Amino acid sequence: QVQLVESGGGLVQPGGSLRLSCAASGRIFSVYRMGWYRQAPGKQRELVSSITIGGSTMYADSVKGRFTISSDNAKNTVYLQMNSLKPDDTAVYYCNIDGSRVYWGQGTQVTVSS
């Protein structure tokens, strides 16, 4: 059973940076998109950013210009560089890989607070 393992979350002050990583524990076939979602307390899970196997990216309006997604397709690994973090970015971040089936990570907490 392939699992997605996330790392890089934590506590950071407003204006700070974090880099999230997500790696698959095994081979995933027919991957066409990888991405990051987040869920804040009391809110629905929302798409933050995604990248296709061809390199096309999309970002939620709230993170444009601050977050950058990248991937290593050969390793089924996806990253999210988060800069200029704001308290509103506080949430549990989940990675997602769409391939032969949909895979989800277990989530990593990001807290932006002074």
Tens of pLDDT, residue by residue over 56-86, are 999 999 999 999 999 998 889 999 999 999 9
Does residue 29 have a pLDDT over 90? no
Of 98, 31, 23, 36, nearest to 67 (Cα)?
36
CB 103 within 8 A of CB 28: yes
Cβ-based neighbour number of residue 1 at 10 Å: 5
Say what the pLDDT of residue 26 is: 87
